[in-house]
């Protein structure tokens, strides 16, 4: 099986443009009627739905940001009546407020198709056993790939995250041929296999779809060697649907963006002016076929470039290269989005026990992301008893876990030792070599 949907994935560029134009015209009319925020935004920009006739007119439309989603929390950006929404997912936002996304039945189906296409990109077919080790829950990774596997007619193994010994047992006993997880977890599985004395010849993985965090070609080589599979990069974000917005094909030379459903643009990160293919800038998406929560020109904050050069695999959709940065301060730690401001609000909420100064260090130890947060002890919290200081440390760690969903080590440091800087403080040191 070469393609899941050959008609859509290999459509000639001219027909694709026509399809995109038709979908954009309908979409703009739809959101103008159903989402007050878009009506206001378009009026403010002096654009009427009738001004949008082809996909090229998209540049006339205003952008959408994560802030818009946050302002509308929880359901303000939904375009469908609540009764038509069959699913929500959510990711963390900058202030602890979640970014909520709603899906209609058709949206879930389109998304499942994207994940099915991605699985076929990696060589899966209906005979495959797909081991899904992304978390199942509000995070889109697990359920997204699960529905994709079912859509394809493959056998989904909903392993979810954690309990690595059991994951390895399943991989060995079921002889799954496809795995989906974060790239760092793939390497962690390889480590654990070594410890348990399980050789890669005892498992049967042919390919893996790895995403939800940035990774490098070196990491790809390491995963491929240690697990004996082909490692494919899968890209997505919950705002747009979830995993499967774009995926590597067998050529492993850039991820095809499923352009019949998501229209990508690259814009200058300062001026927001559109940039041609080949140039680097912020990636912006318009969802062409969504009902529940369609987004127009959504700024992903991810920096990359696009190419429309024909690909040997036969797919005509443009490819994006690796994301090599962000235009905001969001960190991705073990696949979880973390904003420094979330950490700040935890520290501020602790009865002034620590100073509102902090420094985050992120590193990768044994292929796992680790985060340490330095906070300054002050007179309000300093005690002559070690026990009390350790309690403070543990309380902060607990509160941080509650707020951001991942474990961070808190290190207490002396007052006035975290550098203050004029203007924007440098809060983060990222030592990960990706």
Partner 1 sequence: MITQIAVFLENKKGRLGDMSKVLCDAGIDLTALTIADTKEFGIVRLIARDNERVLRALKDNGYAVTKTRLLAVEVADVPGGLYGVLKLLGDGGIEIEYLYSFARTGLKKAVILFKVDLPEKAEEILKSNAIGLIDEL
Q: Which of 79, 137, 68 is nearest to 103 (CA)?
A: 79
* Total site size for partner 1, rule CB under 8 A: 18
Question: Which of 86, 418 has the CB closer to partner 1?
Answer: 418
Q: Is 414 among the residues that bind partner 1 (CB under 8 A)?
A: yes
* CB 376, min distance to partner 1, A: 8
Binder of partner 1 out of 416, 426, 429, 431 (CB under 8 A): 416
- 76 by Cβ neighbours in 10 Å (0-12 / 13-18 / 19+) ranks as middle
Provide the 3-class DSSP secondary structure of residue 92: strand
Distances (CA, A) of 299 to 38, 65, 200, 215, 296: 15, 6, 41, 21, 9
Question: Which of 171, 396 has the CB closer to partner 1?
Answer: 396
Question: Which of 37, 355 has the CB closer to partner 1?
Answer: 355
Binder of partner 1 out of 415, 426, 429, 431 (CB under 8 A): 415
Asked if 266 and 275 count as a contact pair (C-beta separation under 8 A), the reply is: yes
Enumerate residues 233-252 that contact partner 1 by CB under 8 A: none
* CB 383, min distance to partner 1, A: 6
CA 399/CA 351 separation, integer angstroms: 13
Contacting residues for 226 by C-beta, under 8 A, at least 6 apart: 187, 190, 200
Q: Tokens standing for 32?
A: 């103008």
Provide the 3-class DSSP secondary structure of residue 18: helix
Question: Which of 79, 377 has the CB closer to partner 1?
Answer: 377
Binder of partner 1 out of 413, 418, 428, 434 (CB under 8 A): 413
Where helices occur in 153-276 by DSSP H, the ranges are 164-174, 183-196, 217-227
Asked if 339 and 363 count as a contact pair (C-beta separation under 8 A), the reply is: no
Enumerate residues 252-311 that contact partner 1 by CB under 8 A: none
* CB 386, min distance to partner 1, A: 5
Question: Which of 100, 360 has the CB closer to partner 1?
Answer: 360
Tokens 């059991």 found at = 166
Q: What are the φ and ψ backbone dihedral angles of 185, each rounded to 5 degrees?
A: -70, -35
Q: Tokens standing for 94?
A: 């900058």
* CB 375, min distance to partner 1, A: 12
- The continuous run of DSSP H or E covering 132 comes out as strand 129-132
Q: Is 30 among the residues that bind partner 1 (CB under 8 A)?
A: no
Binder of partner 1 out of 50, 417, 429, 431 (CB under 8 A): 417
Q: Tokens standing for 114?
A: 């994207």
* CB 5, min distance to partner 1, A: 55
Question: Which of 306, 392 has the CB closer to partner 1?
Answer: 392
Enumerate residues 353-412 that contact partner 1 by CB under 8 A: 377-379, 382-387, 389-390, 411-412
* CB 90, min distance to partner 1, A: 35
Provide the 3-class DSSP secondary structure of residue 69: helix
**Helical packing angle, 183-196 and 164-174, nearest 10°:** 80
Q: Name the segment binding partner 1 (CB under 8 A); options: 73-81, 114-122, 211-219, 414-422.
A: 414-422
Question: Which of 231, 360 has the CB closer to partner 1?
Answer: 360
* CB 347, min distance to partner 1, A: 16
* CB 389, min distance to partner 1, A: 7
Tokens 């973390």 found at = 338
* CB 165, min distance to partner 1, A: 29
List of residues contacting partner 1 (CB under 8 A): 377-379, 382-387, 389-390, 411-417
């Amino acid at each position: 099986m070469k393609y899941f949907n050959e008609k859509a994935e290999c459509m000639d560029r001219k027909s694709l443009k026509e399809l995109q134009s038709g979908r954009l015209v309908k979409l703009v009319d739809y959101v103008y009627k159903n989402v007050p925020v878009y009506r206001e935004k378009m009026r403010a920009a002096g654009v009427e739905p009738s001004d949008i006739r082809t996909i090229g007119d998209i540049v006339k439309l205003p952008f959408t940001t994560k802030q818009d989603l946050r302002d509308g929390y929880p359901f303000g950006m939904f375009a469908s009546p609540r009764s038509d929404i069959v699913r929500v997912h959510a990711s963390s936002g900058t202030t602890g407020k979640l970014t909520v996304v709603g899906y209609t039945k058709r949206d879930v189906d389109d998304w499942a198709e994207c994940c099915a296409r991605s699985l076929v990109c990696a060589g899966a077919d209906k005979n495959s056993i797909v081991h899904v080790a992304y978390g199942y829950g509000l995070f889109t990774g697990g359920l997204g790939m699960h529905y994709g596997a079912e859509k394809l007619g493959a056998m989904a193994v909903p392993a979810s995250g954690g309990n690595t010994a059991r994951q390895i047992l399943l991989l060995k006993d079921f002889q799954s041929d496809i795995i989906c997880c974060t790239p760092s977890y793939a390497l962690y599985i390889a480590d654990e296999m070594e410890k348990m004395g399980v050789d890669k010849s005892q498992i049967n993985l042919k390919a893996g779809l790895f995403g939800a965090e940035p990774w490098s070609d070196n990491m790809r080589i390491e995963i491929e060697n240690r697990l004996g599979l082909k490692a494919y990069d899968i890209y997505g974000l919950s705002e747009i649907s979830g995993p499967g917005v774009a995926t590597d094909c067998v050529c492993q030379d850039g991820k095809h963006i499923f352009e019949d459903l998501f229209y990508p643009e690259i814009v200058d990160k300062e001026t927001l002016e559109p940039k041609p293919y080949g140039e680097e800038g912020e990636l912006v998406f318009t969802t062409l076929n969504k009902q529940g929560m369609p987004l127009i020109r959504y700024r992903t904050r991810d920096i990359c470039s696009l190419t429309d050069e024909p690909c040997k695999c036969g797919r005509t959709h443009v490819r994006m290269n690796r994301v090599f940065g962000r235009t905001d301060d969001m960190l991705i730690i073990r696949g979880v989005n973390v904003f420094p401001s979330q950490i700040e609000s935890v520290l501020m909420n602790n009865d002034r026990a620590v100073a509102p100064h902090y420094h985050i260090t992120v590193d990768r130890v044994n292929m796992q992301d680790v985060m340490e947060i330095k906070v300054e002890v002050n007179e309000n919290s300093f005690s002559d008893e070690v026990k009390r200081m350790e309690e403070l440390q543990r309380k902060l760690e607990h509160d941080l876990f509650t707020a951001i969903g991942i474990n961070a080590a808190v290190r207490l440091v002396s007052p006035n030792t975290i550098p203050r800087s004029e203007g924007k403080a440098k809060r983060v040191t990222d030592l990960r070599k990706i």
